[in-house]
Amino acid sequence: MINQVTLVGRLTRDPDLRYTAEGKAVSNITLAVNRHYKNASGEIEADFVHCILWGKTAENTTNYCKKGAILGVTGRIQTRQYDNQDGKRVYVTEVVADGVRFLSSKSAQPVQSVAQREELPFA
């Protein structure tokens, strides 16, 4: 079975970097990904996809990307569930990133790539 996704979109807000109790970096981002068609009003709609970044990928994305930056994200789709404060079951679908590619830069530098593997240096 295959669970692989590739997205290109804009950050809807600055990434938020946190660390787990074990010291592992984690960042949550939301990408606005345009659809390939216009709605009845002639407007292009967007889907807002939640993504989770880990390790150096999380740290580098937080350090180098801000709201509005264009990112390419590859990863896998994951679903989870939890009970909210009202006792209602909530289902969440998100992308766990394997890699992130920075596709825009304020300084017009060449495209930068971040790999999930810790042993690879930041390009």
Q: Domain residue spans in the chain? A: 5-81
pLDDT exceeds 70 at position 32: yes
Cβ pair 31, 61 in contact under 8 A:
no
pTM reported for the whole predicted model: 0.78
Question: What pLDDT shows up at residue 105?
Answer: 62
- Cβ neighbours for 88, distance < 8 A, ≥ 6 positions apart: none
Q: What is the mean pLDDT of residues 91-105?
A: 92
Of the pLDDT bands very low, low, confident and very high (cuts 50, 70, 90), residue 89 is: very high
Two tokens, residue 79: 């679903």
Tokens 């807002």 locate to: 48
For residues 11 and 116, which has the higher predicted lDDT (pLDDT)? Answer: 11
Indicate whether 65 pLDDT > 80: yes
Output the CATH code of domain 5-81: 2.40.50.140
Inform me whether the pLDDT recorded for 117 exceeds 80.
no
